[in-house]
Amino acid sequence: MDWKEKYKPAVPKRYLLLLAGLLWLFAGVLLSTIGLFWIFPVKHRIVFWLMPVAVILGVIKGKFILYKAANRAVKRIYGHPERACFASMFSWKTWLLIGSMMSIGQILRSLPYPRDYLGLIYVLIGPALATSSIVYWKS
């Protein structure tokens, strides 16, 4: 056995499903919570009227767009051997997308936009991720 195999952080494939589901759920809840904290101190009402719309659009996005991505990840995980590297739950392309989305979030937070409108974006993305995490829990 070479050193790569000896020190590879391999876990059973059922844990990959658990880790992926937890990652999507945690990110969704975190984004939603941050978004709500930015929205609630706001004085103008338009943001409060748009918040339920953002949540509904987020759930729709999760159901029709992110479900597909989650299903691809589940198929990928089922294609692995019984023990696989924990980072292999997503493809490199997906990891790059996650990194770029985090970078875009950092950039948006550094811009002089009001936090309440950015909070609406977070409240839209959060439920989408949390809704699509159901795919992992079903698997």
For 51-97, write each residue's pLDDT tens digit: 899 999 999 999 999 999 899 999 999 998 888 888 888 889 989 98
| pLDDT of 34 over the 80 cut | yes
CA distances from 33 to 6, 16, 29, 111, 124 (A): 40, 25, 6, 20, 11
Q: How far apart are CA 84 and CA 102, in angstroms?
A: 25
Indicate the pLDDT class of residue 4, thresholds 50, 70 and 90.
low
Beta strands in the chain, from DSSP E residues, in sequence order: 10-12, 83-85
Q: How far apart are CA 99 and CA 113, in angstroms?
A: 22
Helix (H, G, I), strand (E, B) or coil at 84: strand
pTM of the model: 0.85
